[in-house]
Every structure is written in C-alpha cells, then in structure tokens.
C-alpha cells in the first residue's frame, strides 16, 4: 500500500515537472508564429523546447503539429510544411549544407558568404504527411501529400504522393493506396 502511494506521488511529481516547459512554450509560441513567413490556424508549436532557425523562411499550414525536440534549419532556403502534417518525436529538417570543396580552409571556417547556391535547396512537405520519430529530411526534398515516413528514416530524395518510405537513405517501401484509391481520396479531401 505504501509502495503504491509512493509510486503515485512520484508519477504526479514527474508530471508537474513538465508544466514549466509547457507554459514557457505556450507563452512564446504566438510570437514565433508571427515571425514565420506563414503560419496557419491551429498549428501546435513548442518553440522554446525545439531548435528552429530561419523563421522568415518557414511556412506551416493549418492544423500541423510540430513537437518539442524539433530541429528545423531553414536559414538560406525555404521550408514549407503543408496542412495537417504530424511529426513524431525529434524530427530534423535541414534546407542547407556545408560547402566542403574549398582547399586551404577547415570546414568550420567556411562562411555563409563562401557557400554556393547549390549548397541550399528548399524542402517541401505537402499536406497530410506523417513523419515518424527521429526522421531526418535534407535539402531539396519534396514529400508528396498523404505520405508516411518511417521512424529513423533519412530522406535525401523526393517522393510522390501516398508514398510509404523508410531506411537510410530512405527508399520507397510501397504506396499507401492504389491509383484509383488515391484519386478517390484526393477527391474527398481536396475536391480534385
């Protein structure tokens, strides 16, 4: 009985310990949303518990959920996240790369001014995408609407709508729907 009481007390204290972080995010979230290029309605964002750079290049659609622990770097190229996108814990999206071909310079000493245009490229995640835990999406990638990215995947290339992808590097595992089912889903969701 005493053991059960102690466990419940510790569980309650553990939950209470999460409140300050949640409230801090709640306080700053509206400011971060206004600093974005675009932020839709009903976006869930934990900015102070995440690492987000380049807000002016970040667009997020209605109803998207960006969890704490997110890492989004979109400093030189845009990151566009569609409507109703859901991320598992700790997603990483990076729209740029380091230049690594300069002779006589350490990579860490290469500045933003040294970068080439091809070192940065936009990332687009279309509507209704589910990204599993610890997904990494790199520059120049477009994920088609209705796709699912398996946990732990490293996405280095684009995929069409309704793809189920996974692996390192990510590859197409299968399509979510047949072509007819995809058309019907598009008609019902998007009026297409």
d(CA 186, CA 180): 10
List 38, 90, 98, 145, catalytic entry: 98
121 with 136: CB under 8 angstroms? no
Alpha-carbon gap, residue 155 to 41, rounded angstroms: 27
Q: How many CA atoms lie within 13 A of 142 on its CB side?
A: 5
Q: Tokens standing for 19? A: 């409140």
Tokens representing 139?
């520059």
Q: Verify whether residue 98 is a known catalytic residue.
A: yes
Which residues are tagged catalytic? Answer: 98
């Amino acid at each position: 009985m005493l053991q059960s009481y102690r466990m419940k007390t510790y569980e309650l204290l553990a939950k209470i310990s999460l409140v300050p972080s949640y409230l801090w995010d709640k306080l700053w979230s509206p400011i971060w949303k206004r600093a974005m290029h675009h932020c839709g309605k009903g976006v869930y964002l934990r900015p102070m518990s995440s690492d987000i750079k380049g807000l002016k290049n970040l667009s997020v659609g209605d109803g998207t959920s960006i969890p704490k622990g997110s890492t989004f770097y979109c400093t030189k190229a845009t990151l566009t996240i569609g409507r109703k996108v859901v991320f598992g814990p700790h997603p990483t999206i990076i729209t740029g790369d380091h230049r690594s071909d300069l002779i006589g310079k350490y990579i860490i000493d290469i500045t933003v001014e040294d970068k080439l245009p091809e070192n940065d490229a936009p990332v687009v995640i279309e509507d209704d995408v589910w990204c599993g835990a610890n997904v990494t999406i790199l520059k120049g990638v477009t994920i088609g609407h209705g796709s699912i990215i398996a946990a732990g995947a490293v996405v280095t290339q684009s995929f069409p709508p309704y793809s189920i992808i996974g692996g390192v590097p990510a590859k197409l595992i299968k399509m979510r729907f047949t072509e007819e089912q995809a058309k019907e889903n598009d008609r019902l969701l998007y009026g297409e």
